[in-house]
C-alpha cells in the first residue's frame, strides 16, 4: 500500500513526523513524503531534527506570498506528484493552505484523503483565518477523519460525517513532544550554552504569535502589553522566537527592540523550542500547537485570541483566552506572576490532547482499513 504524506509548514511537519516514522517502520506500507515548502527555513528545521528526506520538494515559498497564489500552485504541483506516484491515499494534517490544497488535488485525481487532526472548529468563518475554512473544506474531501478528541468527533458527527470513518486518536503533537522532551533534558548543558544570554535563575515568559486575524492593531496591542510587562518586571526574562512572516517581524521589532529583558530571537528548531518551553514559567501564544504542548509540561497558557478551537484546555482550566486587549494581557500575566494559587490552578498538568500513541493508532487503523479496501477491490 502506497501512501503519500504531504505537508508544507512547521506545525504540520512536527505533527506528521511521528506518522512518517510510524508508517516507515511498518513493512506493509510504501511511504512517500511530499513537502510543498509553503515554509522554507521553518520547515527545514523540522526535517533536519526528525531526519526526514522528502521524495518530492515543491519548493513553493515566496516572500510575502498570497493565499490565492499559493493555493493554485499547490493544487497544480501536487497533481503532478499524484499522477507520478499514484498512491492509494494521501495523508494531510491540520488546517493550512497546504492541507486544503493537497486534499483538493487528491480529490481531483480520485485519491483517498486521510486527515489528521480532524474536526477542530470555531464555526467562525474568519477566525482563525483562513484556517477555519481550510479545515471545514478539508473535512468535506476526507475519507478517514482522525479526530484528536471526543469533542472534535462530535463536531464531525453533527456535520453528518459517517461515524464509521471517524476515529478518536489524540493529537500527534503529543507523540512528537514525548519523542523529544527526554532528549532535550539530556542535552541540558548544550542548551544552557546556546542560551547563555538568559539568566536561568529568573522566571521566563515564553511568547509566540503569527495569526493572520491579529495582523495590524492586534499585534500592536500584544506587543504593547509585552513592553509594559517587561518594564514592570525587570527580573522576568521574556523570550520571543519571532515568526518569519513579515507581518509579524515588523511590529515586533518596532515595539520590542531595545528592552534588556526582552529577547527577540529567530524561530528555534523544535528541540531548542521544547527546551525553552520546559524551562518557561508562563506561555503567551496564539499558536495552535503551543496551546496543545504547554499543558503537557504543566505551563499555564494565555492565548492571544478571541476564540479557540482548542476549548478542551480552556475547560480544564490550564489555558485562558486573553484576546489582543493590552490591559487584559498585562493583568493576567501579572496575576500569574504574583498570585501563587492562581498559578497552581493553571499549571496542574491535565493534558486533554493525547498520550503519545496517536500515530501508532492511526497506522493500525489505516493498515486494517486499507487492506480491507484492497481485498474488496481484488474480489
Ligand atoms: C502558515 C499557515 C498557518 C499556520 C502557520 C504556522 C496558511 C495560510 N497559514 O502561516 O495556518 O498556523 O503557517 O506557522 O496556511 N516565511 C519565511 N520563511 C519560513 C516561513 C515563512 O520567510 O520558513 C515568511 C515568507 O515571507 C512567507 C510568509 O512568511 O511568504 C508567510 O508564510 P505563510 O505560510 O503563507 O503564512 P504563515 O503566517 O507562516
Ligand atoms: N515551534 C518551534 N520553534 C519555535 C516556535 C514554535 O519549533 O520557535 C513549534 C512548537 O513547539 C509547535 C509548533 O512549532 O509544535 C507550532 O507552530 P506554529 O505556532 O508556527 O503554528 P500553529 O501551531 O499555530 O499552526
Q: What's the distance, Cα to Cα, between the start and end of the chain in Å?
A: 17
Ligand 1 nearest-atom number relative to CA 41: 23
| Residue 185 pLDDT exceeds 80 | yes
Grade residue 359 by pLDDT with cuts at 50, 70 and 90.
very high
Grade residue 372 by pLDDT with cuts at 50, 70 and 90.
confident
Q: What is the mean pLDDT of the chain?
A: 96
Any catalytic annotation for residue 281? Answer: no
For ligand 1, residues with CB inside 6 Å are 9-11, 38-42, 61, 63-65, 67, 95-97, 130-131, 210, 244-246
Q: Which residues pair with 6 in a beta bridge?
A: 34
How many angstroms does the Cα of residue 88 sit away from the middle of ligand 2? 30
Average pLDDT over residues 142-148: 98
Ligand 1 nearest-atom number relative to CA 38: 34
CA atoms of 288 and 290, how far apart (whole Å)? 6
Ligand 1 nearest-atom number relative to CA 96: 15
What percentage of the chain carries pLDDT values higher than 90?
A: 96
| Residue 349 pLDDT exceeds 90 | no
How many angstroms does the Cα of residue 196 sit away from the middle of ligand 2? 22
| Residue 376 pLDDT exceeds 80 | no
Any catalytic annotation for residue 212? Answer: yes
How many angstroms does the Cα of residue 357 sit away from the middle of ligand 2? 20
Would you state the pLDDT for residue 42? 97
Name the 3-class secondary structure at 218.
helix
pTM of this prediction?
Answer: 0.97
Pull the grid cell for residue 241. Answer: 522566537
Grade residue 299 by pLDDT with cuts at 50, 70 and 90.
very high
Name the 3-class secondary structure at 36.
coil
The response to whether residue 291 sits with its C-beta less than 6 Å from ligand 2 reads: no
CA 356 to chain centre: 15
- Residues 6 or more apart whose CB falls under 8 angstroms from that of 335 comprise 342
| Residue 111 pLDDT exceeds 70 | yes
Would you state the pLDDT for residue 378? 60
- Residues 6 or more apart whose CB falls under 8 angstroms from that of 83 comprise 109
Q: Which residue segments constitute the domains of the chain, with CATH numbers given?
A: 2-171+355-378 (3.40.50.2000), 182-347 (3.40.50.2000)
Average pLDDT over residues 168-180: 97
Helix (H) or strand (E) holding 34: strand 30-35
DSSP string over 112-141 = EEEEES-------TTSSTTHHHHHHHHHHH
**Is 332 in contact with 302 (CB distance < 8 Å)?**
yes
Of 13-22, 78-87, 311-320, least confident by mean pLDDT is 311-320
Would you state the pLDDT for residue 14? 98
Grade residue 351 by pLDDT with cuts at 50, 70 and 90.
confident
| Residue 377 pLDDT exceeds 90 | no
Average pLDDT over residues 219-235: 98
Amino acid at each position: 500500500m502506497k501512501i503519500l504524506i504531504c505537508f508544507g509548514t512547521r506545525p504540520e511537519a512536527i505533527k506528521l513526523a511521528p506518522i512518517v516514522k510510524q508508517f516507515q517502520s511498518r513493512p506493509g506500507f510504501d511511504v512517500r513524503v511530499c513537502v510543498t515548502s509553503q515554509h522554507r527555513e521553518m520547515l527545514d528545521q523540522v526535517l533536519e531534527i526528525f531526519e526526514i528526506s522528502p521524495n518530492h520538494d515543491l519548493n513553493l515559498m515566496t516572500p510575502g506570498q498570497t493565499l490565492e497564489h499559493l493555493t493554485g500552485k499547490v493544487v497544480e504541483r501536487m497533481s503532478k506528484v499524484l499522477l507520478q506516484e499514484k498512491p492509494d491515499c494521501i495523508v494531510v494534517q491540520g488546517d493550512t493552505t497546504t492541507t486544503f490544497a493537497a486534499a483538493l488535488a487528491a480529490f481531483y485525481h480520485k485519491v483517498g484523503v486521510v486527515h489528521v487532526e480532524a474536526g477542530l472548529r470555531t464555526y467562525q468563518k474568519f477566525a482563525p483565518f483562513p484556517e477555519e475554512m481550510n479545515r471545514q473544506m478539508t473535512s468535506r474531501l476526507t475519507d478517514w477523519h482522525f479526530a484528536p478528541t471526543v469533542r472534535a468527533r462530535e463536531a464531525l458527527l453533527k456535520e453528518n460525517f459517517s461515524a464509521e470513518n471517524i476515529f478518536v486518536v489524540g493529537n500527534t503533537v503529543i507523540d512528537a513532544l514525548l519523542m523529544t522532551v527526554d532528549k532535550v533534558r539530556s542535552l541540558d548543558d548544550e542548551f544552557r550554552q546556546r542560551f547563555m544570554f538568559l539568566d536561568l535563575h529568573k522566571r521566563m515568559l515564553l511568547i509566540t504569535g503569527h495569526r493572520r486575524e491579529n495582523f495590524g492593531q492586534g499585534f500592536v496591542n500584544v506587543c504593547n502589553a509585552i513592553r509594559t510587562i517587561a518594564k514592570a518586571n525587570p527580573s522576568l526574562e521574556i523570550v520571543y522566537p519571532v515568526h518569519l512572516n513579515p507581518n509579524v517581524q515588523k511590529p515586533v521589532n518596532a515595539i520590542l527592540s531595545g528592552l534588556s529583558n526582552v529577547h527577540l530571537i529567530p524561530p528555534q528548531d523544535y528541540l531548542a523550542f521544547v527546551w525553552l518551553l520546559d524551562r518557561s514559567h508562563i506561555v503567551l501564544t496564539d499558536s495552535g500547537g503551543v496551546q496543545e504542548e504547554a499543558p503537557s509540561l504543566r505551563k499555564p497558557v494565555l492565548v492571544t485570541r478571541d476564540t479557540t478551537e482548542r476549548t478542551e484546555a480552556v475547560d480544564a482550566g490550564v489555558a485562558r483566552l486573553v484576546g489582543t486587549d493590552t490591559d487584559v494581557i498585562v493583568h493576567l500575566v501579572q496575576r500569574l506572576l504574583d498570585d501563587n494559587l492562581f498559578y497552581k490552578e493553571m499549571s496542574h498538568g491535565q493534558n486533554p490532547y493525547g498520550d503519545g500513541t496517536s500515530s501508532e493508532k492511526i497506522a493500525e487503523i489505516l493498515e486494517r482499513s486499507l487492506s480491507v479496501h484492497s481485498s474488496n477491490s481484488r474480489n
